[in-house]
Structure 1
Amino acid sequence: MQKEITLPIQGMTCTGCATGIEKKVKQLEGVIALDVSYPKGEGKFIFDSSTTSQQDIIDNIEMSGQYKASNGQQVSDKNNFDLIIVGGGSAAFSAAIKAESLGLKTLMVNAGLNFGGTCVNVGCVPSKNLIRAAETAYHATHSNFQGIRPKGVDIDFSQVIKDKKDLVAALQQQKYMDVVKDFKNLAMLTGWAEFVDKGTIIVDGKDTYTATNILIATGATTYIPNIEGLNEVGYLTNVSLFDLEEKPQSLTIMGAGYIGLEIAMAYNRLGVKVRIIEFTDRPLRSQTKDITDVLEAQMKKEGIEILPNFRAFKFEKQGADTIIHCNCPDGTTTQIIEKGKIVVATGTKPNTSKLGLDKIKMNLSAVGHVLVNEKMETNISNIFAAGDVTQTPPFVYTAATEGSTAVSNAFSLSKTGIDYSSLPWVVFTDPQVAGAGMDEIVAEEAGLPFEVSKLDLSHVPRALAAQDTRGFIKLIRNTETDKLIGARVIAPEGGELIQQLSMAIKFGITVKDLAESFYPYLTLGEGIKLAAITFGKDVSKLSCCAS
């Protein structure tokens, strides 16, 4: 009698495994047809039950000890999946979209932030919305033109925050939940996931779920330094600050990285007195001093107080005030009084502490990042990781690429890697700071032959026409090949230039090519051409549109 069964098969790591199982099972007398699928983690078998049995097929599959086949009763088990995604941000959704295109039965488990993760809920979207609102307020009170005299601005702070919340809610629905609502193979679950073994998780300590492959995409949260009294004074992070509808009297921001600086400029322009305490010698310490000098000068001009080389060692409440005890650059101590709010912006930490990764011997960095290679593979063959939980560049667009890449690599013999060497990035201060490739410090450390061209915006006609010449464009070229290997820009809307420079680095475009290309006159982009020309000529002695 002919019989057909479907068996879930655990332990396959590639399509080669499926082919090997097929070859072995075909040797059984009575097997008529079969189809073993690695992506689906199952095998379909048609056989003559008078000659061979279902158990014979299972025993044949499990003979090597590498694979485990069920008795067919678990095929429809709602807790068994091809892919489990732990996390609900950009990497997770990108992975889910790729998985759906491959027909994979997928479970996404998310906790903490709403589905959508950091970017849409508490990161990119709300911060850039508030930055633009703050710019509107600033330009209503400041002008670069002597003949234009702004008359001020009326700021309804609570309305600005409410509008921000509406935008976040709309985009969270439109760009995340609506995208996957019609997926036939995706289940979504809210809860805390913890590994039981390399193929099994338990959610909220109750229900267990298994999968052929698992993707860790749990993101990162604000790192809270261990400072005496900090937990008792009611500090804010970007998560809680962005939802504060009552305008604070003032803010002391702990940390002058890109998050702290963007917050500082936005809230200062919305009428909040801002102070920054930074334990290193300058803001945005990851960048060269010529960049941070321009940025620091603008922030001080706008009234932002910056305290470099100050280190807080104790917080305490005195009535409604917060007293911050600091070590000063000269070795003395001081007490800073904050009448408003404390904002912690001292970097981020990966969300790995509650995942039970010690049980599966996952390799982590010293601070807890899941270590991956360029293919998003971890040290465990069926577990991948993507996004801010890893040691890769922490941007929403890299996370999305990583999530998709991880799923492709998990369910394919053809593996692809990610190259970050031309990665563009932007800090949304004013002026904006943007970069791609390496700067001169990295080039020197790498032992490359290089040359730097630096063009002040005072030589760019667009900046002169706008009467806003804050900043410069810096190009780094390999002197042996003339290829662009890095770029840094600090300029109003400077982030709009960096994609072109990133593409030039990626595709090996030479500085000569950049200098000889056409650029529309009176655009900021023309500054790229002028910066390229500066390698060989003094642009101050050239006429407009000259080459």
Structure 2
Amino acid sequence: MKAYVIGGGIAGISASLTLAFNGIKTSLIDETIGGNFLNKTCIPSKILLERSKKEKDLDKIIKDTKNIIINLKKNYEDLLERNDVEIINDKAIVYDYKLVLKNKTIFYNQNDKIIICTGSLPISLDFDFSNLIHYSDELLSLEGSYENVVIIGAGPEGVEIAEIFNNLGSKVTIIEKKERILSLEDEDISQFYSEILKNKGINIILSKEVKKIHSNDKDIYVEFEGGKIKADLVFSCIGWRPNTTFLNLNDLKFDDYLRVKSNIFVAGDLANAGVANVAKLQGRIAALNAIGKNIKFGDKIHPYVINTDPKIASFGLKEKDVQLARVYKIRFDESVKNMIDNSVGYLKLILDASGRILGGSCVSKKADEIVNIFYILAKLKVNIDQLNSFYPSIPSYFDDVIDAIIQKPNL
């Protein structure tokens, strides 16, 4: 048996290493290791946001970011090679029982395993002058400076990019056709972060759909319901779609085991991962199932983070999804750790009637770390009252959170 992993993003890397750890001869096929995750979107945007807080020269920031990515890519390549994963730098067109590369065709049989991790592509806007629209996978191709930046879409990606250019001194406008930003979050989180963006000077236009983009050779104009705005850079951040461009299979429907058929599995955005940690987990599960395990992918409470400043992180159920829930809503702006870090702090925990943790959301510089802790507690089925016996280090965000919970025992 041999395994072929198609796609070198975080899901493909995870699948390849899992197969190799289990003694399976594995080839990872992609034009470059790292996929969008490392080379274009997830990691680059985080580096750009962090660097733009201090450095205002976009060209320099992009150059530094590319150098960091080169080193990170080499680390992944070395890890794969140390574990005897064959890296084939090519694009594979996938058919039933064959993989067509530029210079050769690989034939596989029923005993060989295929794990497809081809990721996703930005959903494009169908406008005249569509060549004027940029997408988040083009961040590292930008040059120069931009006075007026318009971002279409106020999801996590749009908000992150808005903050990057706001840090660089651009006048930033977000246009969102829904009634609030970050619409997948609970309303209080959306409102809380909307105020943060406004205080930073970012203009937010809600409940307006972009109708037209045009140019007079000098300026770009974005027209929306009831108005228009001038820009010299326009980003569309309205979502992503699975990348099936090079897949010529009869069916890509998959089951709870990420299995398309007995020898073909999917992971990552093809399996609706949406975030990197889920893609990584799916890669591992798909690989284990390919070698005979029987593991369902069913973690519905996974954590995720929006790398804004401060960060936004969530896990598990939302307040709107739970009836008869107990809800802790905690502001800890004046706590010791938040004052040291000069940050804001908001935490919401969703509990069932017995006090078991079902989900939560947090806005803080350390929101990802706070939410990861509560995610683990939720997985361990910890009751909120048990936190009374915890005594973390001081000062720490977790200590601030426990203090706040103890002070509000009857919510």
TM range (shorter): over 0.9
DSSP-derived class of the 1:88 partner: coil
**Partner residue of 2:67?**
166
CA distance change for structure 1 residues 116 and 465 in 2, over 3 Å: closer, same or farther? closer
Q: 1:237 deviation in Å?
A: 1.4
From 210, 225, 237, the equivalent of 2:108 is: 210
Structure 2: gaps of 5 or more residues: none
Q: Is the 8 A contact 1:473 1:531 kept in 2?
A: no
CA distance change for structure 1 residues 185 and 130 in 2, over 3 Å: closer, same or farther? closer
One-letter amino acid of the counterpart of residue 396, structure 1 = A
CA distance change for structure 1 residues 356 and 205 in 2, over 3 Å: closer, same or farther? farther
Answering whether residue 12 of structure 2 is matched by residue 131 of structure 1, we say no
Q: Is the 8 A contact 2:90 2:102 kept in 1?
A: no
CA distance change for structure 1 residues 269 and 204 in 2, over 3 Å: closer, same or farther? same
CA distance change for structure 1 residues 170 and 205 in 2, over 3 Å: closer, same or farther? closer
CA distance change for structure 1 residues 182 and 520 in 2, over 3 Å: closer, same or farther? closer
TM-score by length of 1: 0.71
DSSP-derived class of the 1:136 partner: coil
DSSP-derived class of the 1:277 partner: strand
Q: Distance in 1 between matches of 2:345 and 2:50?
A: 20
**Partner residue of 1:403?**
283
Q: 1:205 deviation in Å?
A: 9.0
Q: 1:288 deviation in Å?
A: 1.5
Answering whether residue 348 of structure 2 is matched by residue 461 of structure 1, we say no
CA-to-partner distance for each residue in 1:132-190, whole Å, 9 max, x for gaps?
112336xxxxxxxxxxxxxxxxx33322211111001110111x211122454625141
Matches within 5 A, 1:354-369: 354-357=246-249, 360-363=250-253
Structure 1: gaps of 5 or more residues: 1-39, 41-81, 138-154, 328-332, 364-370, 539-547
DSSP-derived class of the 2:282 partner: helix
**Partner residue of 1:90?**
10
CA-to-partner distance for each residue in 1:209-232, whole Å, 9 max, x for gaps?
314221110011211132x21424
One-letter amino acid of the counterpart of residue 488, structure 1 = S
**Partner residue of 1:117?**
35
**Partner residue of 2:20?**
100
**Partner residue of 2:178?**
280
Q: 1:128 deviation in Å?
A: 1.3
Over the residues paired in the alignment, what is the CA RMSD in angstroms?
2.1
Q: Is the 8 A contact 1:83 1:106 kept in 2?
A: yes
Q: 1:417 deviation in Å?
A: 2.4
Answering whether residue 236 of structure 2 is matched by residue 236 of structure 1, we say no
CA distance change for structure 1 residues 520 and 353 in 2, over 3 Å: closer, same or farther? same
Q: Is the 8 A contact 2:4 2:113 kept in 1?
A: yes
Matches within 5 A, 1:13-412: 40=1, 82-111=2-31, 114-136=32-54, 155-174=56-75, 176-184=76-84, 186-195=86-95, 197=96, 199-204=97-102, 207-211=105-109, 212-226=112-126, 228-232=127-131, 234-327=132-225, 333-338=226-231, 340-357=232-249, 360-363=250-253, 371-373=254-256, 375-378=257-260, 380-392=261-273, 394-412=274-292
Q: Distance in 1 between matches of 2:85 and 2:28?
A: 11
Q: Distance in 2 between matches of 1:165 and 1:184?
A: 27
**Partner residue of 1:71?**
none
From 429, 438, 441, the equivalent of 2:317 is: 438
DSSP-derived class of the 2:99 partner: strand
One-letter amino acid of the counterpart of residue 79, structure 2 = V
**Partner residue of 1:476?**
350
Q: Distance in 1 between matches of 2:44 and 2:184?
A: 24
Q: Distance in 2 between matches of 1:294 and 1:400?
A: 30
Q: Is the 8 A contact 1:95 1:403 kept in 2?
A: yes
DSSP-derived class of the 1:236 partner: strand
**Partner residue of 1:496?**
369
**Partner residue of 1:426?**
305
DSSP-derived class of the 2:201 partner: coil
CA-to-partner distance for each residue in 1:496-547, whole Å, 9 max, x for gaps?
2111101110001110112331133332222321343255259xxxxxxxxx
Q: 1:457 deviation in Å?
A: 1.8
Q: Distance in 2 between matches of 1:249 and 1:525?
A: 40
Matches within 5 A, 1:533-544: 533-536=406-409
Q: 1:342 deviation in Å?
A: 0.9
Q: Distance in 1 between matches of 2:68 and 2:352?
A: 44
Q: 1:306 deviation in Å?
A: 0.8
DSSP-derived class of the 2:38 partner: helix
DSSP-derived class of the 2:173 partner: strand
TM-score by length of 2: 0.93
One-letter amino acid of the counterpart of residue 363, structure 2 = I
Q: Distance in 1 between matches of 2:52 and 2:70?
A: 21
DSSP-derived class of the 1:525 partner: helix
One-letter amino acid of the counterpart of residue 67, structure 2 = D
CA-to-partner distance for each residue in 1:361-412, whole Å, 9 max, x for gaps?
332xxxxxxx441x2222x2221000112123x2222222211221211112
Aligned length: 409
CA distance change for structure 1 residues 180 and 205 in 2, over 3 Å: closer, same or farther? closer
DSSP-derived class of the 1:135 partner: coil
CA distance change for structure 1 residues 418 and 427 in 2, over 3 Å: closer, same or farther? same
Q: Is the 8 A contact 2:41 2:139 kept in 1?
A: no
CA distance change for structure 1 residues 488 and 275 in 2, over 3 Å: closer, same or farther? same
Q: Distance in 2 between matches of 1:290 and 1:216?
A: 38
CA-to-partner distance for each residue in 1:56-115, whole Å, 9 max, x for gaps?
xxxxxxxxxxxxxxxxxxxxxxxxxx212111111111111122233323332224xx21
Q: Is the 8 A contact 1:84 1:213 kept in 2?
A: yes
Q: Distance in 2 between matches of 1:309 and 1:534?
A: 39
One-letter amino acid of the counterpart of residue 349, structure 2 = L
From 306, 312, 325, the equivalent of 1:450 is: 325
Q: Where does structure 1 differ by over 6 angstroms across 4 or more consecutive aligned residues?
A: none
CA distance change for structure 1 residues 170 and 293 in 2, over 3 Å: closer, same or farther? same
Q: Which has the higher contact order (CA 8 A, sep 6+)?
A: 2
Q: Is the 8 A contact 1:95 1:407 kept in 2?
A: yes
One-letter amino acid of the counterpart of residue 490, structure 1 = V
Give identity over the alignment, percent: 24
Q: Distance in 1 between matches of 2:332 and 2:82?
A: 50
Bigger radius of gyration among the two: 1
**Partner residue of 1:73?**
none
Q: Distance in 2 between matches of 1:461 and 1:247?
A: 39
Q: 1:241 deviation in Å?
A: 2.2
Q: Distance in 1 between matches of 2:367 and 2:106?
A: 49
CA-to-partner distance for each residue in 1:241-284, whole Å, 9 max, x for gaps?
23323122221111111111011112211222211111111111
Q: Distance in 1 between matches of 2:295 and 2:218?
A: 56
CA-to-partner distance for each residue in 1:189-220, whole Å, 9 max, x for gaps?
4124131x2x3232349624314221110011
